[in-house]
Amino acid sequence: MRILGIDPGYAIVGFGLIEAARGQARMRTYGAITTPAGVALSKRLLQIDRDMQQLLDTLKPDVVAIEELFFNTNHTTGIAVAHGRGVILCAAERYGVPLYEYTPSQVKIAVTGYGKADKRQVMDMTRRILKLSALPKPDDAADALSIALCHARSATSRLPRPDRPGKTI
């Protein structure tokens, strides 16, 4: 299964593609979509949409996994990130690929086994699980790989799915 993990944003959208099979995961590629500062939000969102279309056409993922938003203290930035996330969701729907959403805690548990792990712990475990020699840069790409790993581990879980009783993830 080819899983495209997405760390949403409007200045930087991290992405990471892994292949997962039989409990093993391999990193295929990672990077970031960036938009220039000082440009109207609407133009940045249009660029994210176009770049996401190109990314999906090029990488041909079987599924997309994206992180749900967590608002901390800066709601203004959070709203702009939510706009970027919306564009990404629409691009995945348009492409016709199944879409899965995970909270930051779900990602942390899947990658480290601890829901309150710090960012460095998640990044280091992502590097170890994927057998990478160095941490992926930018951090947004490393986050996207951890989101993809979260889906890889959830997709093979034998736990019941809350949205479909009797069906496993």
Closest listed residue to residue 100, CA positions, set 38, 162, 13: 162
Which of 49, 51, 62, 67 does the annotation list as catalytic? 67
What residue has token string 């809350």? 162
> CB–CB of 14/6 below 8 Å?
yes
Residue 140 designated active-site: yes
Structure tokens at 135: 């941490």
Rounded distance between C-alpha atoms, residue 89 and residue 41, angstroms: 17
Residue 57: active-site member: no
Alpha-carbon distance of 169 to 151, in angstroms, equals 10
Could you confirm whether 101 is annotated as catalytic?
no
Rg (CA), the chain: 15
Joined tokens for residue 46:
């249009």
Would you please indicate which residues are annotated as catalytic (active-site) residues? 7, 67, 140
